[in-house]
Structure 1
Amino acid sequence: MLLAKWTVDILYEYIHGSSIRNMYVENRFDKNKILKALRYLHKNNVVHRDLSCSNILLDDKGVVKVVGFHFAQEIEGEKEIGEWIRWAAPEILIPQGEYCGSFSDIWSLGCTVLEMITAALPYSNLTWFGAVAEVREGKMPMMPEQLPNYCREFVQICLQKNPLNRPTASQLLHHPFIACANTNVPHSRRR
């Protein structure tokens, strides 16, 4: 009997610097870098499915590295249920597992922007089960009241329940929130 051999290569790269959340709070981060990385992935038919601050690295030269492509899910066949659902799009959490695509990453991007702004996990006011219920229903996480309108609108268009109504990464690059990258946004230091 011939057994198939599998090789898994895990590459590590040391990234010196601060977290993406801290870079954003300190206003030292160009917001369009994540969108350009997503646009590149989506043009190459790659859907990340786990976008969050913890999966975005920024090196000392300002290069964005999107990491965490579910390699454990591929090896083990099942992803452990955990905090990742706080960034997951509704279509990913539906029991029948509707199709997910680049639009699922756009939902996660909206949650990631809120995470950077508030320094808190999306749906942090809810238990894990409460967060699952809210996401499945397509309800948005809480947004700070003092959020400027262009920022609030950016997050709202990313977090539309119908995935076909969400813009693409290329379209979002032209949004005023991205165009106003040097504008100070009030930040909440909750955690």
Structure 2
Amino acid sequence: MVLEGLVSIHDHGYVHCDIKPDNILVFPSSTSRQDSYEVKICDFGNSLEIGEVPLCWEINFPWLGTAIYMSPESVRDGIAHVSLDLWSVGCLVLEMYTGVIPWEGLELDEIATRLLSGKSPEIPETLPCDAKDFIQTCFSRNPEERGSAHELLLHPFLPRPQVEEEDEKTTEEKTSNSFLSNLFKLRIRRRGSKKKLAKDDVAVSDMKPLKLRFWKTKTVKRTLTKVLGLKKSTDFFQFSVRSLRFSTYFIFMKV
């Protein structure tokens, strides 16, 4: 969470310049889990804009923040850069593992001399490989090799947030349940169609095709005359003009 906070700070164009345990606050998480906590960064009194050199920085006192958490380049030229915060994160993780502050027992002049000579706090060999690699990345002599806070968030040393894993698991369960539900509905529909077919005892494919029968005009004329009760052919002609249009053949469908 400290790196997530640094991502936001750096994206806004600032460097905290004093990342250390005293400036990290831990709160109970607002989530339902009882063993989770939220971490917040505080004390922005030493914060500077990226590339800024504070007026208080001097060669005789080359510290932008707390000396034991400062990076070599900040001691050398006093320029605030995001790489300073990443070096401080390495010191923070190292102290969390060992329980000992960086450069313990050394005076400020000795710390400055060691930093300018290319040395960094000692990393115990007993640390896990991922932890050692993470700290070594933060302690890179070339500031550009430390990358950014966002890149460090992707380091194997940092586990994936459990919330994301739970969300993915929930999504997979929902997808699986939805698939099973649709499959079950499909089976019910198929069973229903089979029962209906058995009840009717006649399949659609077993139905007889339609037959066409053609009737001539004279036959139709005689039939309609009888049905309508027309006495004369002239009456039929007048009726046909008003109501019907006769063609050469009339088509009647018969099953």
Q: Same fold, TM exceeding 0.5?
A: yes
Q: 1:12-53: CA deviations, max 9, x gaps?
A: xxxxxxxxxxxxxxxxxxxxx111111111111121011011
1:65 aligns with 2:40: yes
- Please state how far the C-alpha of 1:70 moved relative to its aligned partner: 2.4
Larger radius of gyration: 2
1:113, 1:125 → 2: CA distance?
19
Worse-superposed segment, 39-48 or 60-69: 60-69
Q: Deviations over 1:147-174 (max 9, x none)?
A: 0111001000111111122121111111
Which residue of the partner structure matches residue 78 of structure 1? 56
Contact 1:110 1:154 (C-alpha < 8 Å) held by counterparts: yes
Matched, 1:55 2:15: no
Please give the secondary structure, in 2, of the residue aligned with 1:59.
Answer: strand
Q: Deviations over 1:103-159 (max 9, x none)?
A: 111111111111111111111153332222112233110122210111001000111
Counterpart amino acid of residue 47 in structure 1: V
State the partner residue of 1:158.
Answer: 138
Secondary structure of 1:63's match?
A: strand
Gaps of 5+ in 1: 1-32, 183-191
Between the two proteins, what is the percent identity of the paired residues? 32
Deviation at 1:72, TM superposition (A): 10
Letter in 1 for 2:92: T
Q: Is the 1:86–1:132 Cα contact (8 Å) retained in structure 2?
A: no
Superposition TM-score, scaled by structure 1 size:
0.67
Tell me by how many angstroms 1:181 deviates.
8.3
Q: With a CA cutoff of 8 Å and minimum separation of 6, indicate the structure with the bigger relative contact order.
A: 1
Q: Rate the CA distance shift 1:180–1:138 in 2: closer, same or farther, 3 A.
A: farther
What TM-score do the two structures reach when normalised by structure 2? 0.51
Return the alpha-carbon distance in structure 2 between the equivalents of residues 142 and 101 of structure 1.
23
> Structure 2 counterpart of 1:78, which letter?
C
Equivalent residue, structure 2, for 1:46: 14
Residue 123 to residue 181, structure 1, CA distance change in 2 (3 Å): farther
Q: How many residues align?
A: 146
Alignment CA distance shift 1:103-1:179 (3 Å):
same
Amino acid at match of 2:56: E
**Structure 1 pair 39/129, CA: closer, same or farther in 2 (3 Å)?**
same
Structure having the larger proportion of residues in strand: 2
Secondary structure in 2 matching 1:179: coil
Q: Which amino acid aligns with 1:87?
A: Y
| Aligned pairs for 1:1-191 within 5 A | 33-61=1-29, 62-70=37-45, 78=56, 84-94=66-76, 96-97=77-78, 99-179=79-159
Q: Structure 2 regions of 5+ residues with no counterpart?
A: 30-36, 49-54, 163-255
- Determine if contact 1:138/1:160 at 8 Å carries over to the other structure: no
RMSD across aligned positions (CA): 2.8
